Amino acid sequence: MAEFSGRVALVTGASSGIGRATAEKLSAEGAAVALVARREKELSEVAARIAARGGRAEVVAADLSLEAECDLAVRETVARFGGLDVLVNAAGIIGGGSIETTSPVDFDHMMNVNLRSLFLLTRAATPHLVAGKGAVVNVSSVTGTRAFPGLLAYCVSKAAVDQFTRCVALELAPKGVRVNAVNPGVVVTNLHRAGGMDEAAYAKFLERCRETHPLGRAGQPEEVADLILFLASPRAAWITGGCFPVDGGRAETCAR
């Protein structure tokens, strides 16, 4: 029997990158998956791929910077599938800026998408997760544990995700719900390009990862998704409140 048979998962950021890889792997392991992101066309393509492999996925288009749409995403998931067992908060944005150049508007937007949406989704999902003794996995970053110049708002948002993970893990542990986070290094996704990096700069950035990551390369979304699935699975039944690096050794290096 597949590991997640009979389980329902909600995955944010499911239109691309780590979110998409996680949704597809959860489906392959038997989960019914709610695919949540803003881009409905891309979500529909993911749903079609899952359906072609015999899985079940539903598209829930939502702007997670808005409270009402976070609540809607959970409500729609439960209405369509009859419950919710696994919440994967993989949606996020990145943007540059220092203390001198980051505007209050940009700072607030980063916090709304990368942190506040996790709070809203997890709060809305908690009654259902408690009912099914479920699990939450948050996608943080190596920048949650290490400081990098020129990424002020992003680093702060991810450090807050780590602390949010630990706090909620303690609060929900007595109710049988586990909460963990993964802290990726650079992963080959659309994140940086969506954050404003052009193709030439992105190619140089990935090449630089050969030096900045001790294992000599950037990661792939599927490598992070594998860890997410483990943390959401019964195999991790005695693990909660953890923030786990999956970063090619990046967090162990000095600035370079």
Separation CA 236–CA 106 (nearest Å) = 37
Give residue 203's pLDDT: 87
Residue-range domain boundaries for the chain? 8-247
Dihedral angle over CA of 147, 243, 94, 111, nearest 10? -90
| Domain 8-247, second-level architecture | 3-Layer(aba) Sandwich (3.40)
Q: Is the pLDDT of residue 195 over 90?
A: no
**For 25-39, 108-122, 142-156, 201-215, which range has the lowest pLDDT when averaged over its residues?**
201-215
pLDDT greater than 70 at residue 256 = no
Active site residue 154: yes
> Is a pLDDT exceeding 70 seen at residue 21?
yes
CA 200 to mean position of chain CA atoms: 26
pTM for this prediction: 0.94
pLDDT in tens, 89-138: 999 999 999 999 999 999 999 999 999 999 999 999 999 999 999 999 99
- In this model, does residue 38 exceed pLDDT 90? yes
Digit-coded pLDDT (tens) for 51-88: 999 999 999 999 999 999 999 999 999 999 999 999 99
* Residue of 4, 81, 154, 164 with catalytic role: 154
Quickly state the pLDDT bin for 193 (edges 50, 70, 90): confident
User: Residue 224: what pLDDT?
Assistant: 98
pLDDT of residue 174: 98
The pair phi, psi for residue 184, each rounded to 5°, is -70, 150
Q: What is the pLDDT of residue 51?
A: 98
pLDDT of residue 47: 98
